[in-house]
């Protein structure tokens, strides 16, 4: 080709040919670079010895959630055109990080805290306020130090400054002994898995942002950045994770501070004026090496004036919150229900027809009200709208065999079906779900609607005599056994 180009005479046809050949070469180079960068990104984001939990990208059981057929209830004993029960689980979700994007599952493992790995992490802000005395004597210094003890408070989409949390997308990777690169000595395996956190890529200034947008539009840069954290602190490094109480409503569960794993870019994304905890000894510890799968990240120990520290926490499995209130007691279940960073109870159940009823009433302001706005764990199809309001107990029949973690003492709650070898999973519904303004945030854009659907819900769904000022939608539940499978 080069000899052909050299022999061309300087005619218009030759110039046009040269331009065309140059364009083809540039396109080939661009395509090759794109494929190479994509391959590097995929390989870099796949933790060794693990498999990804959840449905494949682009696949969802809610792909037809806006179909009008779900707005009408059907008889409980009816079946669809494929012979499946009309009343069934439509979709399953876990939310590993409170108020961030969910992970959709085909089947889910149930534990005493609800669905496994649901709301075990949260972002929390240090809300400590201090007053510096003009003249510091020893007594005042001691009092000041006492006031400066951190007071970490969980942040959610209810907080107006944290709408962007909706676009933080966690992936769960679990150990897979069948993987070719599996080894029990890997950090990924020692930590019982990995959570990869994706978040939109942002620039540091206008010029940087413009260059990033150009790179993303040309597919030379991924639209998201990422970091990875261990699902559980590795036992050989657990001393590098400070344990501190994190405030969630009236509770303060003891949690692991994951500050050492969170990059500056994620902190900037959540809030330009935040920093991480400076109390983490791992930041200056020689035990955190660049060869680790979860390297500790250096960061500034001071923030600009007026900023609040912000970091990621993982609830300590030994300090889950015991749930009482309306929940069944240990005497009847054999265990006291627990939860991590969920607001109230381990499970949230919601009917698709109920959401469509709300959607029909606020369609002028929200043409497409997704059930994902309400962040339920178990989404059900078939019953008429709001039928779940009066449910006391839910039986979910699943073709899966009973999990080995289910104790024989719980046979009344987890019964094997003799005809198909499946199981019936029992869930106790304990109260209605009180609604705040969190569903006003669009899970796809992170944009908060000024009124809806909160305004519509309050017009006709203030039905609970225990809280007549707030609307209700969906039910809170607790599993009847500590080990179960939902499908």
| For the ranges 125-129, 277-281, 447-451, the one whose mean pLDDT is highest | 447-451
Question: What is the pLDDT, as a whole number, of residue 69?
Answer: 93
Least confident piece of the model among 50-54, 114-118, 271-275: 271-275
Q: Is the pLDDT of residue 209 over 70?
A: yes
pLDDT of amino acid 119: 96
**pLDDT score of 272 more than 60:** no
Sign for the CA dihedral angle at 80, 83, 86, 92 comes to negative
Strand 347-351 and strand 378-381: the pairing is parallel
Q: Is residue 420 over pLDDT 60?
A: no
Which residues, in sequence order, are CB contacts of 182 under 8 Å at separation 6+? 48, 49, 175, 176, 189
Mean residue pLDDT of the chain comes to 80
Q: Which residues in 95-235 belong to E strands, given as ranges?
A: 103-105, 108-111, 114-115, 121-126, 152-154, 169-175, 194-200, 224-230
DSSP alpha helix (H) spans, 403-445: none
Contact between 262 and 278 (Cβ < 8 Å): no
The answer to whether 1 touches 25, Cβ cutoff 8 Å, is no
pLDDT at 137: 57
- Token pair, residue 36, equals 């190479």
What are the C-alpha distances in Å from 5 to residues 17, 18, 23, 48, 333?
9, 7, 14, 48, 82
Q: Is the pLDDT of residue 37 over 60?
A: no
Band (422; pLDDT cuts 50, 70, 90):
low
Let me know: does 70 contact 20? Beta carbons within 8 Å. no
Residue-wise pLDDT tens digits, 339-393:
899 988 999 999 999 999 999 999 999 999 999 999 999 999 999 999 999 999 9
CA distance 166 to 394: 30
More confident residue, 411 or 144: 144
pLDDT at 327 over 90: no
**What stretches of 135-205 show up as alpha helix (H) in DSSP?**
138-147, 187-190
The model's confidence at residue 18, banded by pLDDT at 50, 70 and 90, is: low
Burial class (CB in 10 A: 0-12, 13-18, 19+), 332: exposed
Q: Select the more confidently predicted residue: 414 or 43.
A: 43
- Of 123-132, 137-146, 150-159, 456-465, the range with the lowest mean pLDDT is 137-146
Considering 19-23, 165-169, 479-483, the range whose residues carry the highest mean pLDDT is 165-169
Helix then strand count (H, E) for the chain reads: 9, 23
pLDDT of residue 216: 76
Judged against a pLDDT cut of 50, whether residue 67 lies above it is answered with yes
Q: Who's near 131: CB < 8 A, 6+ residues apart? A: 144, 147
Question: How confident is the model over 434-452, as pLDDT tens digits?
Answer: 999 999 999 999 999 999 9
User: How far apart, in whole angstroms, are the C-alpha atoms of residue 268 and residue 343?
Assistant: 26
Which of 13-22, 91-100, 238-247 shows the lowest mean pLDDT across its residues?
A: 13-22
- The secondary element (H helix, E strand) that includes residue 439 is none
pLDDT per residue over 158-208, tens digit each?
Answer: 887 888 999 999 999 999 999 999 999 999 999 999 999 999 988 777 787
Residue 2 is predicted with a pLDDT of: 56
Q: How confident is the model at residue 210 (pLDDT cuts 50, 70, 90)?
A: confident
| pLDDT (average), residues 18-26 | 65
**Rounded Cα distance, 320 and 301, in Å:** 30
The whole-number pLDDT of residue 3 equals 62
pLDDT of residue 182: 93
Q: Report which listed range, 31-40, 112-121, 220-229, 306-315, is most confident.
A: 112-121
Cis peptide upstream of residue 304 (ω within 30 degrees of 0): no
């Amino acid at each position: 080709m080069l000899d052909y180009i050299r022999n061309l005479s300087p005619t218009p046809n030759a110039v046009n040919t040269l331009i065309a050949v140059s364009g083809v070469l540039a396109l080939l180079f661009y395509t090759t670079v794109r494929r190479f960068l994509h391959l590097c990104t995929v390989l870099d984001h796949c933790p060794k010895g693990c498999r990804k939990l959840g449905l494949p990208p682009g696949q969802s059981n809610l792909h037809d959630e806006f179909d009008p057929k779900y707005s009408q209830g059907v008889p409980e004993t009816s079946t669809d055109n494929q012979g499946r029960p009309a009343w069934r689980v439509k979709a399953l979700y876990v939310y590993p990080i409170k108020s961030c994007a969910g992970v959709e599952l085909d089947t889910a493992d149930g534990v005493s805290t609800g669905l496994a790995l649901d709301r075990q992490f949260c972002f929390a802000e240090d809300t400590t306020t201090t007053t510096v005395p003009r003249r510091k004597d020893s007594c005042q210094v001691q009092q000041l130090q006492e006031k400066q003890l951190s007071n970490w408070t969980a942040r959610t989409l209810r907080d107006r400054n944290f709408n962007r949390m909706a676009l933080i997308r966690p992936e769960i990777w679990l150990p897979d002994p069948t993987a070719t690169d599996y080894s029990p000595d890997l950090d990924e395996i020692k930590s019982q898995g990995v959570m990869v956190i994706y978040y939109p890529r942002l620039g540091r200034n206008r010029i940087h942002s413009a260059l990033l947008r150009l790179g993303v539009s040309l597919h030379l840069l991924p639209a998201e950045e990422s970091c990875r954290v261990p699902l559980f602190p590795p036992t050989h490094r657990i001393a590098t994770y400070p344990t501190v109480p994190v405030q969630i409503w009236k509770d303060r569960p003891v949690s692991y501070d994951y500050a050492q794993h969170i990059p500056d870019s994620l902190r900037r994304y959540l809030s330009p004026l935040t920093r991480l905890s400076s109390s983490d000894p791992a930041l200056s510890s020689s035990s955190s090496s660049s060869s680790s799968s979860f390297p500790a990240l250096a960061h500034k120990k001071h923030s600009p004036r007026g900023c609040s520290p912000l970091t990621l926490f993982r609830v300590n499995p030994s300090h889950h919150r015991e749930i009482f209130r309306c929940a069944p007691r240990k005497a009847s279940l054999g265990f006291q229900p627990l939860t991590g960073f969920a607001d109230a109870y381990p499970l949230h159940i919601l009917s698709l027809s109920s959401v469509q009823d709300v959607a029909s009433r606020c369609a002028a302001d929200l043409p497409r009200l997704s059930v994902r706005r309400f962040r339920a764990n178990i989404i059900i199809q078939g019953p008429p709208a709001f039928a779940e309001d009066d449910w006391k107990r839910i039986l979910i029949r699943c073709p899966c065999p009973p999990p080995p973690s289910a104790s024989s003492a719980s046979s009344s709650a987890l019964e094997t079906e003799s005809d198909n070898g499946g199981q019936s999973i029992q869930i106790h519904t304990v109260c209605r779900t009180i609604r705040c303004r969190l569903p006003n945030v669009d899970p796809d854009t992170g944009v908060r609607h000024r009124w809806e659907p909160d305004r519509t819900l309050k017009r006709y769904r203030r039905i609970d005599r225990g809280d007549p000022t707030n609307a209700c939608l969906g039910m809170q539940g607790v599993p009847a056994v500590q080990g179960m499978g939902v499908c």
